[in-house]
Amino acid sequence: MQTVYDFTVKDREGRDVSLSEYQGKVLLIVNTATGCGFTPHYDPLEAMYKELKDQGFEILDFPCNQFANQAPGSDEEIHQFCTLKFGTEFPQFKKIDVNGENADPLYAFLAAEKPFAGFGKGLKNAALNKFADMNNRQFGDKAYIKWNFTKFLVDRQGRVIARFEPTADMQAVKDAVLAAL
């Protein structure tokens, strides 16, 4: 059975990082953007990281510019923005594609394990769904991720146990992380 530990990704400097380095930890894998309406998610993410990292919790941040060009900067510019504006300390990796022919294999795996199930109810979520569908039409059946700040929760054995869309309540995300710890 394949797990996230079978994947290798690139750090900000372009070096290979085997996700097996995180074996035994609870992971929250997030595709992010610096110019998105959900960018303030960095605050609760960083707070959760600071509170829980000593219990075996890691957040893996993968910037992505595939959603309305909301992460146009270089890897270094994105990192500077996140550390200066939000004080992020969790690992941030090289900017990647999460959809389409060039989607990082990790994200194709994550989405296959926990496919998109909707943004939830309400007018705001319906509007985001319409906008995401327009944006992701270009990726066809390889539109794995619908928007920035989609979060995948991975247990200590490397299995994907939950997917949270950017519209999910951050307390619900934290509760799931706590249960996994």
Distance of alpha carbon 158 from alpha carbon 24, whole angstroms: 8
CB 32 within 8 A of CB 64: yes
- Residue type at 120? G
Distance of alpha carbon 181 from alpha carbon 170, whole angstroms: 16
Q: Is 36 a catalytic residue?
A: yes
Distance of alpha carbon 31 from alpha carbon 121, whole angstroms: 22
CB 148 within 8 A of CB 70: yes
Residue recorded with tokens 């959900």: 38
Question: Hey, what are 71's tokens?
Answer: 């992460």
Beta-strand ranges (E) seen in the chain are: 8-10, 16-18, 26-32, 57-63, 151-154, 160-164
Which one of 29, 30, 33, 36 is the catalytic residue?
A: 36
Distance of alpha carbon 18 from alpha carbon 63, whole angstroms: 18
Catalytic residue ranges: 36
